[in-house]
Amino acid sequence: MPRRYGQTNQPGNRREQPPAKPAPKRKRRAVPAVLLIMVLAAALFFLRWKVWPAKPADQTEPDAASAEAVQEQPKRWSLLLVGADKPLDRAFTLDLQKVEDIRVDARIGDLVKMMLAAAKADGVELKICSGYRSVSQQTKLYQDKVKEFTDKGASEDKAKKKAGRTVQPPGCSEHHIGLALDIVAPYHPTLDEGFAETAAFQWLKDHAADYGFILRYPKEKEDITGIDYEPWHYRYVGPEAALAMKESGECLEEYVGK
């Protein structure tokens, strides 16, 4: 075969093809910082609720902010004072037990059942219309009561002051700690002073202390408790304290303040 111009059989004269370029390396994608933060937050949440569960109500340590607003409380959980000038520690927790249609502190649930059964055995039927209340429930009750007075022409400040005589502001009610009961009778379901004329009230007056309950806001103690007379409102303080207060005629503030 004839040779073409420039063609040769000498290997040294062969044209070399340029080497192939290596394939570019794939860059590793950095883990987004937001994803890393989410993973860490989830891990902390798990440790908080699974490894270190919340402390029971009577062992919870108050946080710094709320501790400034709370007076030094008695060590006995059943004598805890809560009110407008003694707001509940925001770190407070409790276990609840259902009794009929209401919830109470689990530590008093059986005593409440025993008291209701004893009254029934004596021919008296008691009806608990309120026990534990959340802050949101108390907020609505308080706002409704304030509005009731503002609608009648009272200023906002005066309305709050009047409302506080019967409905405590949110965070300041004994109902938050599950130790307070509003008790009525099926034939007298309203929360008013007329309950004091019923057989149900008389039975509670005679026997409530045996189960650890006191009439929390008695007549002629309004200046001390800061609350108007409420013959329907009962508070668990323990049998020993209840019987002592029944004998002395003291209210809870007086008994704790000794």
Cα–Cα–Cα angle for 16, 21, 26, nearest 5°?
170
End-to-end CA distance of the chain: 128
Judged by DSSP in three states, 146 sits in helix
Kindly provide the b/e burial profile for residues 33-48, where b requires at least 16 CB atoms within 10 angstroms of the residue's own CB: eeeeeeeeeeeeeeee
**Count of helix runs (H) and strand runs (E) in the chain:** 9, 6
Backbone angles phi, psi at 169, to 5 degrees: -60, 155
Give CA–CA dist 128/101, Å, rounded.
8
Closest CA to 112 of 92, 134, 132, 89: 132
> Choosing from 125, 148, 230, 254, which is the catalytic residue?
230
Report how far residue 252's alpha carbon sits from residue 86's, in angstroms, rounded to the nearest whole number: 13
Annotation marks residue 68 as catalytic: no
Other C-beta atoms lying within 10 Å of the C-beta of residue 59: 9
Residue 208's contacts (CB-CB under 8 Å, 6 or more residues apart) are 115, 214, 215, 234, 242
CA 159/CA 230 separation, integer angstroms: 19
The residues that are catalytic are 230
